[in-house]
Amino acid sequence: MAMNRNNGFVWNIPNVLSLYRILCFPVCLYFIWIANKDVFTILICISLVTDVLDGYIARKFNMATPLGAKLDSVADIFTYICAVCGVYRFEYSFITGHPFSIGLFFVLYVLGFLIGFIKFGKLVSLHNYSFKITAYVQGIFFFVLFAFGYYDWVYYPAICVGTWACTEDILVLLVLKEPRSNVKGLYWVLMDNKNL
């Protein structure tokens, strides 16, 4: 696919899909606000599917760009905020049924952002393998939750993988000497440091 540049923006499919998710953010929040679960479910499910597609297309067709990585990170955060707000608004009984596991995950998730910001003075998007796996597994969980309802067999793998990914992110940020993106994981960072 030909890529047209306009003021630095690369108009390729992955970037357009990420941009869609960013623009969809306030629309999703609006439907959460007015408690329209049907429209919200359609929008969040589309966002979750495009989240999988943009990364896959970028890697498969060599369309990855630094701007695309940033757009994807912002879109991921916005989609995640929408999903969490949707859970709070429409599936609150699910939250009250799992306070410890959800609380632990969010403490670790926020801690990762704080460590990166304190250490490097900016948001660091590692894009490691564990978070890529988490995105798929938790995306499936949110999709199933909103479209079909709650199932233990979908929730527990999602929360376990997410907690593992957040823990690895924290360890990677503590070990890194400078901010980097597309870090494979803790093992590779340790090997890179060993070879320096």
What is the count of structural domains for the chain?
1
Does residue 180 fall inside a structural domain? Answer: no
- How far apart CA 105 and CA 102 sit, in angstroms, is 5
Does residue 65 fall inside a structural domain? Answer: yes
Does residue 15 fall inside a structural domain? Answer: yes
DSSP secondary structure, 96-129, as one string: HH-HHHHHHHHHHHHHHHHHHHHHHSS------H
For the segment 180-191, what is each residue's pLDDT rounded down to a tens digit? 877 889 988 888
For 86, the domain range is: 10-90
pLDDT band at 8 (very low <50, low <70, confident <90, very high): low
Does residue 67 fall inside a structural domain? Answer: yes
Cross-strand bridge partners of residue 5: 10
**Residue-averaged pLDDT of the chain:** 87
Our CA angle for 150, 83, 167, nearest 5°, is: 90
47: pLDDT strictly greater than 60:
yes
CA end-to-end span of the chain: 38
Whole-prediction pTM: 0.80
For the segment 99-108, what is each residue's pLDDT rounded down to a tens digit? 999 999 999 9
Does residue 70 fall inside a structural domain? Answer: yes
